[in-house]
Amino acid sequence: MTISAKTCGLSTLDTLNAALDAKAEYVGFVFYPPSPRNIDFEQAKKLSDAVGSRAKKVGVFVNPDDEFLTKAIKAAKLDYVQLHGNEPVERVQYVQKRFNIKVIKAISIASVSDISRAREYERYADILLFDAKPPVDLENALPGGNGLEFDWKLISGKKWNIPWMLSGGLDATNVKEAIKISGAKIIDVSSGLEEEPGRKNNEKIKAFMDAVQDID
């Protein structure tokens, strides 16, 4: 079984190169100021230039306006825009057409009803991303990257008409089980590669990617 991986929240050339050397197929840059993984447009350009064509570049946004998207897409030469807020399907369609770019729509999952909501986006997004919905009482919760898992059985056996990614609390110790239960072909990881929020660890990156590539 071939599993693709997206290493997200990269902010330094050192950790970016570690992800690229480990054969990550997608690299994610966060453009969301409240996040400890946020980068500015100057950082984004340097990182993007270092990627070249070695991986697909994904920009992660939360309810961005057009001006902000324009600047980020240009700076990072993005291949994908990941919408991780409460953007409606109309916004997904608009971003695709306005910027001529592929869109990943993140869906926060906690129950069966969230799976039904994901179906609304299936006709419009290019890729769906299933992440854990943070509990309402979680202090300083972010839309994603909280290091939380959801019940992978909720998406087990589900058929989708477009590709999808699994995210939420993944690391080198649980990724094999997550893939086995969910059936994911693409996985997305951020906090599971970190020493602390926003600070990636090269050894954790390698260990995670080794675990993924060891799946048969």
Q: How many Å separate Cα 29 from the centre of its chain?
A: 9
Residue with tokens 């299936």: 122
* Known active-site residue 131: yes
Q: How far apart are CA 179 and CA 155, in angstroms?
A: 11
Which tokens hold the place of 120?
């609304």
By C-alpha distance, which of 201, 213, 190 is closest to 58? 190
Q: How far apart are CA 17 and CA 51, in angstroms?
A: 8
The active-site residue, picked from 79, 131, 171, 188, is 131
Contact residues for 99 (Cβ-Cβ < 8 A; gap 6+): 69, 70, 73, 81
Which tokens hold the place of 41?
């447009």
The active-site residue, picked from 8, 79, 171, 188, is 8
Residues in the chain: 216
Q: What is the DSSP letter of 135?
A: P
Q: How far apart are CA 19 and CA 210, in angstroms?
A: 11
Q: What is the DSSP letter of 159?
A: -
Instruction: Quickly count: other Cβ atoms within 10 Å of residue 104's Cβ.
Output: 26
Residues tagged active-site: 8, 131
